[in-house]
Every structure is written in structure tokens, then in C-alpha cells.
Structure 1
């Protein structure tokens, strides 16, 4: 049997990393590489066990299973329709499985596999992935691996990006993980047999085209802040004179303190120049972390906290802001309404051309603010209310919420939010967006 693969597919097949992700543009030959790699592993290691997963069975049947039936030699093994299992003459097994709901992973709780292969990894939740990692085990001495392939987008986009894209240099193994970017142009077989495929991808909307044609991981289906662009919004702050107004906006809970320091330039540009992002802090510890972050030379014009931190606890009669005040930090109430606040963030992010014809925006984020940079573009729209952001994964919401409190309260020209005119302002926001 003669098998033809591309250079990138061969890199995937040869990878001995504990975890390998082959991801990026559509049409890169990722699923085909999975099937070829699975077959070669099965032939090399007698009585080995592998699991190939898709999120739903219809996806599995019309793609991987169908291709395997035409690709795998019948004289080498047989496929069982009822158990979705290839059984080879050397007793190796390749099982096709799916996890339609999050708890479907428990049906594999007693299984053992040498390799688990995820096709479209971003369709799986992080819980499903980490649970299934525990099923990779055995005493046969064979390699134990995860091999995954995917396009950007889907419910797992955020955690996949954090686990592989953000921390790995493409093509270089680190800590047992390897990321191999996929481009449609890498698939020379597809380019020869269907040269119009790229032209069809060019017809997609701008976001889908960037994700599926170019393999961009900073854009995905359902992304709330499509305006975010690292080239425009991430930049080292200038020397900021003392007379620029500086603000502190926080989102606080025991699960996370997210604090952002923002300087407002005369032209209305907001420079996010410092962050504190730390979990497990009681209020006094959070106050200490904030005080340690601030330099003695800067003057904070206004500190902003969400309305819930002003609520007094029945048992103590004190609010969170009262305790902050005891440590020398005095907060004003931020505008806490979600949708007008997110719209205000969008206004700050919205690109425009300055007088020199340079594309810019009224929000700039220092590279030092890594958590805001990481989480802001990862926020997805709420499936039930696309005007709002989703509350999950919750870890992504803290730093953007702090930014929302600032943006909803302080307009680009520095005009503070007027709570007495709240209803009028909300109506103006919603009317403007329509």
C-alpha cells in the first residue's frame, strides 16, 4: 500500500510529543493525517488501542469513518458498524467515539488507550479533554500520546489557544507539547485536485475567512469584540505626564482580583498601563496588592468599583468598599450595567484613521497587561443575548469586567458617568448601536 502525505502531515505523523496539535486553516489535511497516523501506529504496535473522537456521531460518520472505509486496506482489518471499531489482524484496535454532551466522557471511564485522537479539538470543553487524558494508560511500553487536529473557533477555542497557541513556538516541542500550524497551501494534493477551494474560502465573511483561510486564532465564531486587533490595541505606553488623569478600575471577588490602571490622554485615548490579576485574596490582601502596585509618584484621579461592592453585609454592616477605605483606598461607584458598558468598550476599541492616516483606536493596552490582552479577545457573545457577553468560562470575565467599569463610567473625552442621567444615557447607547 502506498500512502502520500504532505510535509506538514509527515511532521504530525512523526511527532513523539506527549501532546501534538495540528491546527489552523481549513483544508490543511488534518483529518487525513490523523487516519494515516492511526493506521501506522496500529500496524507498528500489535494489540495497541486508539480512540478517535468527534463531538457528535453524525460528524464522525460523514467524515472520519467514511474516509477510513476507503483508506484502510480490507485485508489488514475489518470495521464493525455496531461498535464503530476497526479490528486489525495483529489485534490492534482503532475505536471511533463521540462526546455529544459534556458528561458523555464518563462512558470511557474504565477504558485504556495508548493514543487518543481529537478531531476538531475546539469542539470539546476543557473538562472533556482533561478527563479523557486519564484514559491514556497501560503497561505495554507503547508511546502514550494525545494527537489533536482542529480549526480555530468553537466552545473550546479559548482553552485550546491558552494551552498550545499562546505558549508554544510553532514546530518546537516544549514541556511535551507541540503545535504544528496548518495552512491550506500546505495541502498540495488539495491544491492540485481542487484549485478553486481557496477562492471559495475567499467568499466567506471577514472573520470566518481569517480563521479558516489564514488560521488566525485571535478571531473565532461568536467572538464579542471583533474590533480587537493586536496591531492596533497593544502598544507600549508613551511617557505619560503627571497631569494626565489616571484611573483605577477593579473587579473583585475571592476567585479573582482584576485591577487595571488607566491613563486618559488629552485626545481621549485611554492607556491601560498596569494590571494586577490575582486570586484567593481577601479584601485586606487585595488592598495591599493594589497599594504595592502603585508608585508613590503617581496620583490616582479616581478609583472605580462595581455597584455590588457597595452593598453592606447584614452581619457586619460594612461593604467591601468600606474595608478598602480602611486601607486607604477610596472607590466611587462605576456604571455597572452590562450591555451599555460593553458598548462603551466597543467605542474605545473601534478603529479609526488619525490625521496622519494611521489606523488607530482610543484604547491602547500595554504589553505588560498580559491577562487583559489574553482574555478580552476571548470573550464570546451570550448565545441567548448577543448584545451581552457570555459568563463562561468565568476566568475570562474578570479583567474585561474591570475595563467595562472604566469604559462605561468615563467617556473618551473624560466626561464621567452621571448616575442621575442614567436612563437617558442607556437609551442613547442603545439607540446609537441600532
Structure 2
């Protein structure tokens, strides 16, 4: 070919570019380029979250993360699945794939009923949905994927489905002379910092890490010949912004920049994980700067009680609360005088396994303690509180608990063992909570009213405050969502046990007989 013909050929090739990653205007690699790079065998990071602002090209990258290995010699062993929580939510991704794949891979075919692409060299990409964990067995158990993609990861309330799908990341490929490398098995997830699953995604990928920091998780495996080998699983969160994406029109960028709601703007434009999702139950009335206070010694005239939500395979939670009587205290040189009846959550014990750094090992996992050991643990925690902030309260009043701990109390003329009796033997006594019809709505509304009164500094309505040492409660409240079927109540979900313990306290009416009997 002549040099002139070669130039025309190159020019035509440039004009035929179907898709290319965005470029960093300041030099260096763009977020999309990094995303594709960590999917290569030589620079592989197995688990990646691509997050940030809306319009940064996450969905296209999810498709191209798979497409970059089509035709590389792995054939049908390069098998991928892209997931959404609901089937209808897949439509945009499927439509986007029809704009790209046929032009890059002539001969690629799409099966509508199976929602899958088959490529001329044997690779397969499937679009699938999974809303409930029960669907895993029917749709995914026993499958083998080398590429698993989750679009809008925070739409899944917990990590249960995510973890289960990781078990399908495997391959039976054997290296050949033509392709000596193993397929780069990888999990890819896309999301904005918004939605019901925000908390677990943030804890897994964002908390305690610098932006772009690759976390290396060492795992030990036992080989067939009985030897132990150590492997490294790598995880990273990649931040992308709409301002990198030249394919998005200026009107859309201007719309994002002009969002009036500051919370929505922080999340959708700036990709800020620290803002409270305003679709959460208490988002409109949650202000950490007002509600969270440093611990102080509780006056002797304030009432102190404990409340409890039971769990063994799931976490248990005991909360210690103080009720103000109108008496003022001095905290860090300032006078603190909440209205009479205000509640201050002063301590918690959340029964879940922790990592050395104090973080939770696994969401919604309990300690599997016997009731006797659980009671002793709670008592030890209470004694430590009485040696510090509750030093004016040698006796803590029994407050409400999950009513299931009293189950069996009427069996064998009341002599049958119950959880409540076992806890009481360790000195941790409780009374029944209000589990009547409508109590879940009532607790949520009482909480809302107290939060509103607190941030408004209302002088004639009871407030609610939380000591900063109650980390599980303080972390979970902003991530509580409304129940779809009963919007004025809190949706049940993983790690809501601290809320349950607090809800029992909010709806509990202190019996007059307790005071008359001199129970302090």
C-alpha cells in the first residue's frame, strides 16, 4: 500500500472508532482508563467499585470492561453477567449494548428471550436481575462467570446477594499455547452514593481508604496435595466525575450543577458519600452536629434505663438511656439543659464480631453467644458505664426488650427456662415492650418528632441526643429507610437492631408500679 493509501486507511480507522475512554484534561489517566487498566491480566484488581457523580460513563464502562477481552483467546471461558436489582432496570444497559457491540464485533448476536450476547469467538455476556436472595438458587447456583458486573450497587439493601454471587466467579479454563494466561476473573460494580444499600457499599469500599487506594486481602488456600498457598485478592474504588466525560451534553452538566437540594447536589454532582440520603426515614431531621454529643456524667436525678433487642445468629443490641428532668449540667464549660423528658442514649453494646480496627467483620452477623454469656457480657458493659458516665447510678432500671425473650414464661407453671430468666441471672432485667398493632409507625413518628424538636431547639418538647460512643446506633439511624408497604414506619433490614432497641424505648410507658416499688 502506498503511503497516501496508508494515511487514508489510518484516517478511516480513526473515523470508525466506536467507543473510547474519556481523557483527563489535566494529563495522566482518566477514571475510565484506570477502570479498564485494572481489568488486564498483568495489572488485575479483582474487585472494583466505579463511583462518583452521575454522568461519568459508568454504565458504558461496565459493558466495555467485558468487551475488552472478547477475541483474546478465551472463547466461551470469557463468560460474563451484568446484574440489576429489577428486570426493567436492565433496559438502558441493553439498549446501550446494541449501540456498541454490533459495530465493534460484526457477527455478534443477541438473544432477546435469554437477554444474552454471543460473540463470533465464543464469548457470552448475559443480562440478569436478582431482587431476592431466594432467586440465587434458581438462577445462579452452579454457574461459572469470569466477569460479574453490578449496576447501581446501592439498590441492593445488603451485601447478601453480592457475596453470594462472588461464589460464581470461577473458571475451568486451562492455559494453551495460543493463550497461556488465565482469564482475568473480576467483579465490577457501579453506583452513586445514593440508595438503600449505601451503608454497606461505603463500608466495603470507601471507609478508611484513600481515593484509589488498592486494598490487598490475603487469603490462604489448601491445594489438592495438602499444601497451603497464599493468594492476594485486590479491591479498589475508582472515582469518576461528569467533567471528564465529553460525551455528555452541556445542558445535563448545567442541570446537575444547578440542583437546588444541597444533599442531592452533593451526591449526584460531587459523589459525596458523607451526605445523608434524603430518601432515608430521618434524613430531613438528622443533623450530626446537633444530635451527637460527647459523653458526660449523668446527674443522679435523671432516670437511667436499659433496653434490649435479642439476637444470636444476628446481632443483639443493648442501649442505656438517660431521661432528663429539666436539671442543667455543664459540658465542656457550656450549660446543657434539655427539656424535661428528653432522652439521651448514653451507651450501647452491639453483639457482632469486630475486626482489630473496630469495624464490623460482616453485616448482620451475631456472636452466637449462649444467653448466659450474653447476659454476663451486658452486665460487664453496664458496670464499666457505672464506673464512668453512670457513676451516679449504682442501679439501672429495667427497660423494654424484644418480647421474644419472655417466650416460654407460661410453660410448666412458669418454671420453664426463658431468655429473660437467663439474662436476669446475670443481673440484666427487662420488661415487655409495646409490640401492639401500629407500634412500628408510632416509634418512627415519636423519633421524628424528637429529632425535629432537637434540631429546632424547641424549649417545650422533649429532645433526643446520642453520645458519640454509640457508634453502631449513630451509624445506622441515617441509613434507615421507609417501608414500601407502610411508609410511616421503618423498613426492616440488616443491622437495624440498634434501632429496634431504641424503638422499644420510645414507645415504652414507664409503669407507675415500678416507681412505687422503689425500683431505681
Bin of the TM-score, shorter chain as denominator length: 0.7 to 0.9
- TM-score after normalising by structure 1: 0.79
- Range moving further from structure 2, 16-25 or 362-371: 362-371
TM-score, normalization: structure 2?
0.67
2:490 to 359, 366, 389: 389
Matches within 5 A, 1:366-381: 366-381=467-482
Q: Is the 8 A contact 1:207 1:219 kept in 2?
A: yes
Preserved CA contact (<8 Å) 1:379 1:396: no
CA contact (8 A) 2:55 2:245 kept: yes
How far apart are the structure 1 equivalents of 2:442 and 2:87? 41
1:81 corresponds to which of 89, 106, 110: 110
- Confirm or deny: 8 A CA contact 1:54 1:99 kept in the other structure: yes
Distance change in 2, residues 1:113/1:380 (3 Å): same
Q: Is the 8 A contact 1:270 1:364 kept in 2?
A: yes
What does residue 46 of structure 2 align with? Answer: 18
- SS of match in other structure, 2:80: strand
Q: Distance in 1 between matches of 2:291 and 2:73?
A: 50
Distance 1:183 1:67 in 2: 20
Q: Residues 260 and 71 (structure 1 numbering): CA distance in 2 closer, same or farther, change over 3 Å?
A: same
Is 1:303 aligned to residue 332 of structure 2?
no
Contact 1:378/1:396 (<8 A) preserved:
no
Q: Give the drift of 1:185.
A: 4.1
Paired position in structure 2 for 1:196: 254
Cα 1:341–1:59 change in 2 (3 A) is closer
Aligned length: 405
Structure 1 residues 187, 260: CA separation in 2 closer, same or farther (over 3 Å shift)?
A: farther
Unpaired segments of 5 or more residues in structure 1? 356-360, 411-415, 420-434
In structure 1, the partner of 2:8 is none
Whether 1:262 and 2:321 are equivalent positions in the alignment is yes
Aligned-residue offset at 1:240: 4.5
Q: By how many angstroms is 1:84 displaced?
A: 3.8
Q: Name the larger-Rg structure.
A: 2
Query: Partners of 1:261 and 1:340 in 2: how far apart?
Result: 21
After the TM superposition, which of the residue ranges 235-244 and 63-72 deviates more from structure 2? Answer: 235-244
Residues 238, 101 of structure 1: alpha-carbon distance in 2 compared, 3 angstrom cutoff: closer
Q: Is the 8 A contact 2:110 2:117 kept in 1?
A: no
Aligned residue runs from structure 1 range 166-245, under 5 A = 166=207, 168-174=209-215, 175=217, 176-190=234-248, 192=250, 194-198=252-256, 202=259, 208-217=264-273, 219-220=276-277, 222-226=279-283, 227-241=285-299, 244-245=302-303
Tell me the secondary structure at the aligned position of residue 262 of structure 1. strand
Alpha-carbon distance in structure 2 between the residues aligned to 1:84 and 1:270: 54
1:26·1:212 contact (CA, 8 Å) conserved in 2? yes
1:315 maps to 2:412: yes
